[in-house]
Amino acid sequence: MSIPKPEEIKPRQRDYYFDNVKFLLVLLVVIGHAYASLIDDSTILKVSYLAIYSFHMPLFILIAGYFSKNIHKEDQSKKIIASILIPYVIFEILYSVYDHLLYGTDRIDISILEPYWIMWFLFSMFLWRLILPYFITLKYPLATAFALSIMIGYVDEADRYLSLSRTVAFFPFFLLGYLLQRHHFDWLFKSVKRWVAWIGLAALFPLMYGLEFLSPLDANWRQWMFFALPYEDVGHTEWYAGLYRLGLMALALMVSILFLVIVPRGKTVFSEWGARSIYVYLFHGFFIRAYTAFNWNELFSGPIFYLTVTLASVLLTILLSSKWVMAATHPLVQPKAHWIFHEKRSTRRLKNPSDATSS
């Protein structure tokens, strides 16, 4: 068997499909946050908002789990701290200071153990990556994760502290993503026609309208879709309250399947942007907070304004996905943290004692 020469070894080709998925999902994150302060003024925006929130974070988390298959590689604990925990702490502080300056509060309120707004995702990601190696040793990990997701809603103390509610509730999607392989997605493309997926996604909007405005179920669907609070805090103390969450999880999986089918599989104009989706996620909040603080919705309304907000969200997502933003902010998002870890001592046996002092 001959060993190929270095110039004959082809670099691993990037799977642009997942870059496309990540860009479209982070775009929905930005649009969803931009719509948040407007949904009480427009039925169309509220239905669109609920449609987005019915699946975009579960699928975003599933994709994150899919790319977490290297948990058994060496130095993964260091990588998790450097790439997730440290950026979390940095942006938790930045957002706290930013809010203080923006709203003129009496003091800077920094709470590392109670994640600020969008920062729950990074904190939960840190916890998911920590528990994943142990959780997959269970006999029925996925079934256990879904059971815990439903049961955590009955725990009154499970709220935003340590992002406990969301961490447990969304974990099944992360675990499912970890368990999926590339051939599962290929099977999906072969099994579901794209036109069927488009029809299914179009049907999501009347479904959300019916749930919100016509359904006899007395539920604040917006709060339910956050998965952030115990059932009692969203107004449901019934023993069967967990069925609401189970239904929403099933809906999220169904819509996610339809969404994955319609996403382009090859390289597109936004494939490169999707590779930098974390920059969009971490920085878009500064713009959304400023936009919300100025109460633009009290000055403007109507279709033209809503269309402008949507277009601005798209442009903001593209801007934050650019190489220039990555180059300027890389030290914050991906800081060099090797200095906080112990360096490994060389196990190489010295051929000559004098080698130890010959440098």
Q: Which of 261, 262, 264 is nearest to 274 (CA)?
A: 264
Query: Whole-number mean pLDDT of the chain?
Result: 90
End-to-end CA distance of the chain: 40
Least confident of 70-74, 198-202, 344-348: 344-348
- Secondary structure letter of residue 84 according to DSSP: I
Q: What was the pLDDT predicted at 1?
A: 44
Q: What is the mean pLDDT of residues 65-70?
A: 93
Could you tell me the pLDDT band of residue 100, with boundaries at 50, 70 and 90? Answer: very high
- For residues 89 and 341, give the distance between their C-alpha atoms in angstroms, rounded to a whole number: 17
**35-47 burial by CB neighbour count: b if 16+ within 10 A, else e?**
bebbbeebeebbb
- Overall residue count recorded for the chain in this entry: 359
Q: What is the mean pLDDT of residues 142-162?
A: 93
Q: What percent of the chain has pLDDT over 70?
A: 91
Could you tell me the pLDDT band of residue 79, with boundaries at 50, 70 and 90? Answer: confident
**pLDDT at residue 17 above 90?**
yes
Least confident of 164-173, 318-327, 344-353: 344-353
Q: What was the pLDDT predicted at 95?
A: 96
Q: What was the pLDDT predicted at 344?
A: 62
Q: What was the pLDDT predicted at 338?
A: 65
pLDDT, tens only, 176-194: 999 999 999 999 999 999 9
- For residues 35 and 46, give the distance between their C-alpha atoms in angstroms, rounded to a whole number: 8
Q: What was the pLDDT predicted at 215?
A: 92
Q: How do the domains of the chain map onto residue ranges?
A: 6-342
| Cβ proximity of 212 and 47 under 8 Å | yes
Instruction: Say which residue the tokens 């000055």 belong to.
Output: 299
- For residues 323 and 348, give the distance between their C-alpha atoms in angstroms, rounded to a whole number: 41
pLDDT, tens only, 202-215: 999 999 999 999 99
Q: What is the mean pLDDT of residues 80-90?
A: 93
- For residues 177 and 164, give the distance between their C-alpha atoms in angstroms, rounded to a whole number: 20
| Per-residue tokens: 349 | 């046996």
**pLDDT at residue 290 above 80?**
yes
| Per-residue tokens: 268 | 């597109």
**pLDDT at residue 152 above 50?**
yes
Q: Which of 8, 53, 83, 71 is nearest to 252 (CA)?
A: 53
Q: What was the pLDDT predicted at 345?
A: 54
Q: What was the pLDDT predicted at 44?
A: 96
Q: What was the pLDDT predicted at 191?
A: 93
